[in-house]
C-alpha cells in the first residue's frame, strides 16, 4: 500500500469531493476534507446535480438524516456519477436500526454504481442479511468476524467494503487488509465515521478503490492517535484531529501505520 504517496496525490490534486451528507456533520466533514488537502462541496438540490458531479472528482453519499427529497437526490447523484465514471462512496448510517435506513442503503447498492461501502460492524452486518444489534447511528457492537463481514460484503455487492471498529478491515472481494490505527476517543465525538467516509472520497479520486480505502483508514487513524497524544478530552481532541489531518506527513505514516494483509 502506497499510503504516503496517495496522501501526496490528494494534496497535490486537491480533488473536489461532492457530498450529499447529513445535517449533523456537514461542517465537520467539510473541515476534515480541507484539512487533509481536498476541496469539499455540499450540494443536495437535484436541479444542480449533473453540473456539480461533472465538476467533481468523486461523490460521497451519507444517509444520516434521510428524507424523501434527499433520497431522490442520492439516487440521481449515483446514476449521474455512474454515467460520468466518478467514484461513489456510500456511508449507510444507521442501517439495521430501521427498515427505512436499511432498505434505502440496499436500494442504493443495487444500482451497481457504488465504488466503496464504509460502515460500522452493525451496519455492514445488517446489509449482508445477518442479524446485528445497534443502539443508534453512531453506536455499534463489534465482532471478531469483522474481516469476514468486509470480505462477504465486497463479494455480495461487487465493490470495496470497509468495516470500521476496534480493527478496521477493507476488502475488494479477493484481498483483505486490517488497519490497527485509531483510538476509542473517536467514539466520543459525533460524526468521526462520517469524516472518515468523506476523506475516503478524496482518496478515491486519486487512486484505485482498495488503495483509497486502506489509505484513508490509516491516515485518519494515525491522525486520531496523534491528536489523542496532545488532547485527552473530546472537545480539544476534535480540534487536534483537524490539526493532525493537516500535519500528518510521510515520516509519521512510516512510523505509525499498522496495516497488514490477512487471509480472507
CB-based contact 117:157 (threshold 8 Å): yes
Domain that holds residue 121: 3-262
Q: What is the pLDDT of residue 144?
A: 80
Residue 249: per-residue pLDDT: 97
B/e letters for 110-120, b = 16+ CB within 10 Å, e = fewer, are eeebbbbbbbb
Give CA–CA dist 156/50, Å, rounded.
29
Compute the distance between CA of residue 92 and CA of residue 100 in angstroms, rounded to an integer.
11
Say what the pLDDT of residue 143 is: 66
Sequential pLDDT tens for the chain (264 residues): 899 999 999 999 999 999 999 999 999 999 999 999 999 999 999 999 999 999 999 999 999 999 999 999 999 999 999 999 999 999 999 999 999 999 999 999 999 999 999 999 999 999 999 876 555 555 455 668 999 999 999 999 999 999 999 999 999 999 999 999 999 999 999 999 999 999 999 999 999 999 999 999 999 999 999 999 999 899 999 999 999 999 999 999 999 999 999 987
Rounding to the nearest 10 degrees, give the CA dihedral for residues 62, 44, 235, 166.
10
Domain count, the chain: 1
CATH number at residue 55: 3.40.1190.20
User: pLDDT value at position 64?
Assistant: 94
Amino acid at each position: 500500500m502506497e499510503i504516503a504517496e496517495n496522501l501526496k496525490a490528494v494534496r497535490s490534486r486537491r480533488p473536489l469531493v461532492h457530498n450529499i451528507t447529513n445535517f449533523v456533520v456537514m461542517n465537520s466533514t467539510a473541515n476534515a476534507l480541507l484539512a487533509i488537502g481536498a476541496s469539499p462541496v455540499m450540494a443536495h438540490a437535484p436541479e444542480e446535480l449533473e453540473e456539480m458531479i461533472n465538476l467533481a472528482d468523486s461523490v460521497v453519499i451519507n444517509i444520516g438524516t434521510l428524507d424523501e427529497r434527499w433520497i431522490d437526490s442520492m439516487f440521481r447523484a449515483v446514476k449521474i456519477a455512474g454515467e460520468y465514471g466518478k467514484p461513489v462512496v456510500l456511508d449507510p448510517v444507521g442501517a439495521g436500526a430501521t427498515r427505512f435506513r436499511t432498505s434505502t442503503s440496499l436500494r442504493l447498492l443495487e444500482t451497481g454504481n457504488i465504488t466503496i461501502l464504509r460502515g460500522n460492524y452493525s451496519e455492514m452486518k445488517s446489509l449482508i442479511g445477518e442479524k446485528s444489534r445497534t443502539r443508534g447511528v453512531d453506536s455499534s457492537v463489534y465482532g471478531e468476524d469483522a474481516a469476514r463481514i468486509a470480505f462477504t460484503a465486497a463479494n455480495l455487492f461487487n465493490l470495496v467494503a470497509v468495516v470500521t471498529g476496534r480493527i478496521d478491515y477493507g476488502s475488494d472481494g479477493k484481498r483483505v487488509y486490517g488497519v490497527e490505527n485509531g483510538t476509542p476517543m473517536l467514539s466520543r465525538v459525533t460524526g468521526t465515521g462520517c469524516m472518515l467516509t468523506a476523506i475516503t472520497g478524496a482518496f478515491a479520486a486519486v487512486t484505485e478503490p482498495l488503495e483509497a480505502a486502506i489509505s484513508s483508514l490509516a491516515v485518519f487513524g494515525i491522525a486520531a492517535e496523534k491528536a489523542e497524544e496532545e488532547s485527552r478530552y473530546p472537545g480539544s481532541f476534535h480540534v487536534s484531529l483537524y490539526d493532525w489531518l493537516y500535519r500528518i506527513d510521510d515520516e509519521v505514516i512510516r512510523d505509525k501505520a499498522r496495516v497488514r494483509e490477512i487471509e480472507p
